[in-house]
Amino acid sequence: MKYPVVLHPDKLLKRKAEKVTAITEELVTMLDNMYETMVAHDGVGLAAPQIGQSLRVAVIQADEEDDILELINPELVAYEGETVDIEACLSIPGQYGLVPRYDRIVIRYFDREGVEYELEADDYFSRIIQHEMDHLDGGLFIDKATKLMTEEEMVQYMEELEND
């Protein structure tokens, strides 16, 4: 089942989400539905506040061939470096921005079996994780962006990058 995506400036997107205290059947169903919703919108990540659930949960799939990453109660444990790149968000259609993020991160999280993992990520993958984790604290990329762009400006920016 697909969920409707909560759109900016809905107050739900600004709220700090609650920790998951138990992995229930409802939570597992929600994870499946979040993935379906993300794929239906051609997204690479979706956080629970974006479907109206104030919970510290996110799903991520940077590439169709990647495994689905499900983050429950993720915590940032280490980070280094900084890069600036383009971001977009399913909750803010048509808006793009240049956003500084840590280059490399280590996070700790639980999966749907309740097993705790530590994960190291860099580049684009690390960027998606940071974007989704921001959602859990009520953060949006437009608040961190050093420059906001329309779709037209973003396409132009990408073309200039390729011509460099």
Question: What stretches of the chain show up as alpha helix (H) in DSSP?
Answer: 25-40, 123-136, 141-144, 151-163
CB nearer to Zn ion: pick between 2 and 80: 2
Beta strand 83-87 with 116-122: parallel, antiparallel or unpaired?
unpaired
Q: Which of residues 117-136 bind Zn ion (CB under 5 A)?
A: none
The CB-nearest residue to Zn ion is: 89
With contacts defined by CB under 5 A, name the span among 82-90, 98-106, 120-128, 143-151 that binds Zn ion: 82-90
Quote the tokens at residue 95: 């808006």
Residue 141 known to bind ligand: no
Calculate the CA dihedral of residues 2, 8, 9, 13 and round it to 10 degrees: 70
Residue 135 known to bind ligand: yes
Closest CA to 13 of 63, 57, 50: 50
Minimal distance in Å, beta carbon 135 to Zn ion?
A: 6
Kindly name the residue from 132, 152, 159, 160 that is annotated as catalytic: 132
- Is 132 within 8 Å of 140 (Cβ atoms)? no
Minimal distance in Å, beta carbon 93 to Zn ion?
A: 11
Q: Which residue among 31, 89, 128, 145 contacts Zn ion (CB under 5 A)? A: 89
Residue type, 115: V
Catalytic residue list contains 116: no
Residues that bind Zn ion (CB under 5 A): 89
